[in-house]
Structure formats: C-alpha cells, structure tokens
Structure 1
Amino acid sequence: MENQTVKRNSFPWSQVIGFLLSVALTFAAVWIGIRTELPYGTIAILVFVLAFIQAAIQLFMFMHISEGENGIWQIGKMLSAAFIALVIVLGSVWTLNSMH
C-alpha cells in the first residue's frame, strides 16, 4: 500500500520529458520547413522522419506501450503495423511515380 502512495505522489518526469521532446521535434520540423533552403523532397523526408520519431516518443512516454504483461507483443504489433503502412505508402508513391 505504501508503494502505491509514493508512486501516486511522485512527479511525472517521463511525461514532462516526452512533452518537451515532442515540442522540440515540432519546432525542428517547422524550422526545417520554413528556414532552410533544402530541396522540397529533402524537407519532406526530414519532416516525416521527425514525425515518426515523435510518434514513437508519444507511444512510449504517454501511451506506455511497453508496459504491462504483453509489452513486447505490443511493440511487435506496432512495428509490424508500421512496416505494412510504409510498404503501402512507399509502394503507392513508387507506382504513381513510375506511370508515364
């Protein structure tokens, strides 16, 4: 019973760190999009990479995807879903760009 009281009253450092990382990644994406002279394709790739990193941070910090009995299975399911989504998106882009 004592451990639950201590845990309930402790400061949520992981949520604060996750929030600050999410805000920093959002500002980085905006800065890359507005202030850099990179080609459009490079900007899009960098913004998508930052978005995937931010999604992973939110899954682990806020949704606690790795906690619980089946934490490793949850991570495996998320990785396989992300792989399928990437295959669909990249396959669609490749198909549409290959059409003449």
Structure 2
Amino acid sequence: MDAQTHSAKKLITGFILALILTLIPFAAVWTMAFPVGVIFGIIALCAVVQVGVHLYYFLGINSKAPTEKVLAICFAGILIFLMVGGTLWIMFDLYERMM
C-alpha cells in the first residue's frame, strides 16, 4: 500500500510540474512581456526541463539504472530532433512557397 501511495504522490508531483512547465511558455507568449528572443529561450528551457520531468516522474528513469537513463535520454533527443527539425523544415518550405 505504501508503494502505491508513493507512486501516486510521484505521479501527481510530476503532473503538477509538467502543468507549470507548460503554462510558463503560454503565459510568456500571451503577455509578450519579454523580447521575442527571450521568449524563445523560455520556451526552449521549459521544454528541456519538461523532458527531464517526464523521464524522472513518469518513466521512472533514475540513477539506479544508468544504461536505461542514457538510452532514454538519447531516444528523447532523437525524437526532439525529428519533431523540431521536421517542423522547421515544413515551416521554411511553406514560407518559400508563399513568397
């Protein structure tokens, strides 16, 4: 029973952190209180921290299994590279076609 409670607390903590790390960039863009470069930095920083939150709180990657940790981080890096790279590729292609 104690393991389930600890697991539930860990999941709720991870959810709250992920929610906060999602709301920070939305608030930065909504208010436009910072220059565009700073907003991009905020978005990037929150994204990187959120990957760590997901790996630790939801996937259970910790220092007890260093090989799994490295593989999970590499896999997350590849996914981020593909998503960001693909998005930029599509957006630049659309920009070229529009101009």
TM-score range relative to shorter protein: 0.5 to 0.7
Which residue of structure 1 aligns with residue 49 of structure 2? 53
Give the fraction of aligned pairs with identical amino acids, expressed as a percent. Answer: 17
Q: 1:13 aligns with which of 9, 29, 50?
A: 9
Name whichever structure is richer in helix by fraction.
2
Q: 1:77 aligns with which of 71, 79, 94?
A: 71
Rounded Cα–Cα distance in structure 2 between residues aligned with 1:17 and 1:26: 14
Rounded Cα–Cα distance in structure 2 between residues aligned with 1:67 and 1:7: 19
- Structure 2's unaligned 5+ residue stretches are 86-99
1:41 deviation in Å? 1.7
Rounded Cα–Cα distance in structure 1 between residues aligned with 2:13 and 2:2: 20
Cα RMSD (Å): 3.1
Which residue of structure 1 aligns with residue 31 of structure 2? 35
TM-score computed with the length of structure 1 as normaliser: 0.63
* 8 Å CA contact retained: 2:63, 2:69: no
Length, aligned pairs only:
84
Greater C-alpha radius of gyration: 1
- Which residue identity is paired with 2:71? K
Rounded Cα–Cα distance in structure 2 between residues aligned with 1:30 and 1:6: 36
- Structure 1's unaligned 5+ residue stretches are 90-100
Structure 1 pair 37–7 and aligned structure 2 pair: CA distance change class (3 A):
closer
TM-score computed with the length of structure 2 as normaliser: 0.64
* 8 Å CA contact retained: 2:56, 2:62: yes
Which residue of structure 2 aligns with residue 97 of structure 1? none
